[in-house]
Each structure stands twice: as structure tokens, then as C-alpha cells.
A = this chain, B = another copy of it.
């Protein structure tokens, strides 16, 4: 019996995972609840897991030497999140992940995933496609950060991810866009009353 239909559909959107394979995967996953403001992983730890979000919203971020946080990823349910760098090298990571809302995730460990890659070749394909798409999206984000200004970046995000923008506090949207909260506040004001 399939429990996590959201994940089953997520895997099967671009791959074919059988029910039997999926139940094998499910038997390994660990469900985790996280209250708003609580941290899933903390800078300096070795990330033993990556996470599939079944409910809620998370942000991953790093802190620079001035003590300022920069948002790497904002993720709602049906997304995967983790400190990939720490996860694949199994060395201490620079990212922390915090819940923006009360959140529920499914945890998948490094060792288990390596085993599953062997047992279920379609899963290797799944993550190849996942990383491929993530790479393209990140290239797009980097290109945006170089080629268009803050206001256009905000409008682009707003048009692509309206739900995300409505659920995430301005302070984290600003950080994701690479600007200060003050600047984003002014941008929003301009967009409401487009004087001139």
C-alpha cells in the first residue's frame, strides 16, 4: 500500500518506478515533523540526509563572514532539499535549513540512497534528471542575477512562483534575490504605485 502518494507521483513524473520498488523506498524513508523556525540541519554538521518535503516550507541558507544570511533555496511541498555539497562529500557543510512553516519531510540517508541506486536503476535516472533540471534552473537564476536588475528579478520570481512569494516572508525573498529587505520593500512599493 502506497502511503506517500505525493512522492510516488514526484518520482513517476519523469521516470518509471514500480509500486514494488516504491514500497522498498518507502520502507527506508523516515518521516520527520518540524515546527516553524526549527532547523533541519545546521552549518558545520555533516549532512547525512536529503529531504523530500510533503508539507510546509523550508529555506536553506549560508552565513557569510559579516554574519549575514544568504538564501540558497526556498522549497515548498513536492520539492527536494538538502545541503548537496555536504551530502555528496560527507564533510561538514556550510548550509543550514530552517522551517518557514510547520513542515513534514521524508528523510533519505546517504548510505540508503547509494544502496537504492544499485537496487533500483530507475532511481539513478530519477536523480540524474533531478540534478539536470536543478542545474538548468540554477543557471537561469545566476544569469538573471547578472543580466537583469533587482526589480526585474522580483517580477520574474513573482510570475514563476506566485505561491512561494505569498508564503515566504519578504526578508527571505529579498535574500533569495540577493538584495536587502529594505530594497525589496521599496521595489514592492514602486510596483503598487508605479508613479511615472
Q: Which residue numbers of A lie inside 8 Å of B, CB to CB?
A: 62, 64, 68, 70, 72, 84-85, 88, 94, 117, 121, 124-125, 127-128, 131-136, 138-143, 145-148, 178
Find chain B residues with CB under 8 A from A143 CB: 62, 70, 72, 94
A147 near B64: Cβ-Cβ < 8 Å:
yes
**A178 CA to B178 CA in the complex, in Å?**
13
Q: Copy number of this protein in the oligomer?
A: 2
A84 near B124: Cβ-Cβ < 8 Å:
no
B147 near A70: Cβ-Cβ < 8 Å:
yes
Find chain B residues with CB under 8 A from A72 CB: 139, 142-143
**A136 CA to B89 CA in the complex, in Å?**
10
Specify the main secondary structure of chain A where it touches its partner. helix
B135 near A131: Cβ-Cβ < 8 Å:
yes
Name the contact of A136 in the complex, choosing from B62, B64, B84, B178 (C-beta under 8 A).
B84
Closest to A141 in B: B142
Find chain B residues with CB under 8 A from A68 CB: 147
Known: A85-B139, A128-B131. 5 other contacts (CB 8 A): A72-B142, A85-B140, A134-B135, A135-B135, A145-B146
Find chain B residues with CB under 8 A from A145 CB: 142, 145-146, 178
A85 near B128: Cβ-Cβ < 8 Å:
no
Find chain B residues with CB under 8 A from A88 CB: 132-133, 136
**A140 CA to B134 CA in the complex, in Å?**
14
Find chain B residues with CB under 8 A from A94 CB: 143
